[in-house]
Amino acid sequence: MNTLYKSSIKLASKTMVPSIASLLFFLGLSSLSHAQNTPKYPMKPISIICPFAAGGSADIMARFVAQHLSEALGSPVVVENRIGAGGGVGANYVAKAKPDGYNLLLVTGGYPAQAALAKNPPFDPVKDIAMISTVTFYPFIVHVLANSPYKNLNELIAAAKSNSAKMNYASSGFGSIHHLSSELFNVMAGTEIVHIPTKGGSNAMTELMGERVDMLIEAPTLSLPFIKSGKIRALAVTSKERLKALPDVPSVAENLPGYEVKSFIGVGTTGGTPPDIIKRLNVEIRKIIDDKDNHKALADLGGDPQSSTPEDMQAFVDNEYQKWQRVIELRKIERQ
């Protein structure tokens, strides 16, 4: 019996060796075939869709990301400005694009604001845009003209209360985060400063410079050069902490406790894009943000550079969406 058992083992071993070798060979061929069938990314130019007008703070950031991402990927990355509906036109374009990673969305603080204001959204803001990484966070600044009679935020609020509905402010568009940030200001200051929507941050700045509006809440990315040149006056920043670039400018919360708006820039793409493409983009964007020179450049623009995982970015965007829902309800802003 023992002899028969040992003979069976030897026979089985001799027959299994070539079978295992054959299996490994075919598995190798299968892996090679799969690798050959997986398209290389990127194989053509990538578009970053900026949902706001050229020349504004969002556009400046889109071109910063495009330049460095192009260098990282070794492929052209171009900026396309698709404006309208407080950023909704550009976001809708990316949401309905082919999910292949060739259409990226510059996700701004306006994304959750616009989504919260949409009455019948043309796409699902959670499922149809896949978040990739945040790039930078930044507060807004409350601005008036340099020759304005208002030297501080208290004077502006006092004037607004005494001239109800006679003062106005500009924004980059109805439903933009600039719009809702200003309405949050109205709520907490007890004022009724009237909204004058424009098409993009640069146009809103033009309205202020042309003395057609009294106040503007805008990003430091756009306004710092005007502040430093003495053309406009910064009354307050919307973050809890003072801005490093403007250490003498108080926060709004120092006058209106609890007020805080901290916007952001990030990158997303079409929902359903393959996870390996999202991972590749996340890795490259995080390298860009972590680079010492790039980090300084973003900080010089008044931001707080921070990259993230796709999951962390999604959680942040969801929280912002809930915050703006509450502001819309408090101000009874009609959803569009």
Q: What is the mean pLDDT of residues 8-27?
A: 45
In the chain, how long is the greatest CA-to-CA distance? Answer: 109
Collapsed DSSP state (helix, strand, coil) of residue 97: coil
Collapsed DSSP state (helix, strand, coil) of residue 238: coil
CATH code of the domain containing 72 = 3.40.190.150
Per-residue pLDDT tens for 218-255? 988 889 999 999 999 999 999 998 888 899 999 999 99
Does some domain include residue 204? yes
Q: Are residues 310 and 267 in the same domain?
A: yes
Residue 37 has what pLDDT? 47
Q: Are residues 58 and 196 in the same domain?
A: no
Rounded Cα distance between 313 and 267, Å, is 9
Q: Are residues 232 and 170 in the same domain?
A: yes
pLDDT-derived band at 6 (thresholds 50, 70, 90) equals very low
- Of 254, 280, 315, the residue at which a domain comes to its end is 254
- Of 254, 280, 302, the residue at which a domain comes to its end is 254
Per-residue pLDDT for 137 more than 80?
Answer: yes
Instruction: Tell me how far the alpha carbon of residue 281 is from its chain's centroid.
Output: 15
Q: Are residues 55 and 131 in the same domain?
A: yes
Contacts by 78-82 with C-beta closer than 8 Å and gap 24+? 78/45, 78/46, 78/47, 78/48, 79/47, 79/48, 79/50, 80/47, 80/48, 80/49, 80/50, 81/50, 81/51, 81/52, 81/53, 81/54, 82/49, 82/50, 82/51
Q: Are residues 267 and 132 in the same domain?
A: yes
Does some domain include residue 37? no
- Of 209, 226, 254, the residue at which a domain comes to its end is 254
Does some domain include residue 68? yes
Q: Are residues 103 and 174 in the same domain?
A: no
Does some domain include residue 86? yes
- The pTM for the full model equals 0.75
From 52-56, 153-157, 225-229, the region with the lowest mean pLDDT? 52-56
Residue 35 has what pLDDT? 41
Rounded Cα distance between 9 and 53, Å, is 76
Does some domain include residue 17? no
Residue 42 has what pLDDT? 96
Q: Are residues 100 and 154 in the same domain?
A: no
Residue 164 has what pLDDT? 63
pLDDT-derived band at 135 (thresholds 50, 70, 90) equals very high
User: 281 φ, ψ to 5°?
Assistant: -65, -40
Question: What tokens does 23 get?
Answer: 């299996």
CATH code of the domain containing 192 = 3.40.190.10
Collapsed DSSP state (helix, strand, coil) of residue 313: helix
From 106-110, 141-145, 301-305, 312-316, the region with the lowest mean pLDDT? 301-305
Q: Are residues 216 and 240 in the same domain?
A: yes
Q: Decide: 222 and 54 in contact? Cβ < 8 Å.
A: no
Whole-number average pLDDT of the chain: 87
Per-residue pLDDT for 70 more than 80?
Answer: yes
Q: Are residues 273 and 317 in the same domain?
A: yes
Does some domain include residue 291? yes
Return the percentage of the chain with pLDDT > 70, whole number.
Answer: 88
Residue 3 has what pLDDT? 46
Q: Decide: 112 and 244 in contact? Cβ < 8 Å.
A: no
Q: Are residues 127 and 186 in the same domain?
A: no
Enclosing domain of residue 234: 141-254
pLDDT-derived band at 165 (thresholds 50, 70, 90) equals low
Question: What tokens does 259 get?
Answer: 């007020």
pLDDT-derived band at 93 (thresholds 50, 70, 90) equals very high
Q: Are residues 54 and 116 in the same domain?
A: yes
Does some domain include residue 172? yes
Residue 36 has what pLDDT? 44
Per-residue pLDDT for 9 more than 60?
Answer: no
Q: Are residues 121 and 268 in the same domain?
A: yes
Domains: count for the chain: 2
Per-residue pLDDT tens for 23-50? 444 445 444 444 444 468 999 999 999 9
Does some domain include residue 28? no
* Strands annotated E in 238-296: 262-270
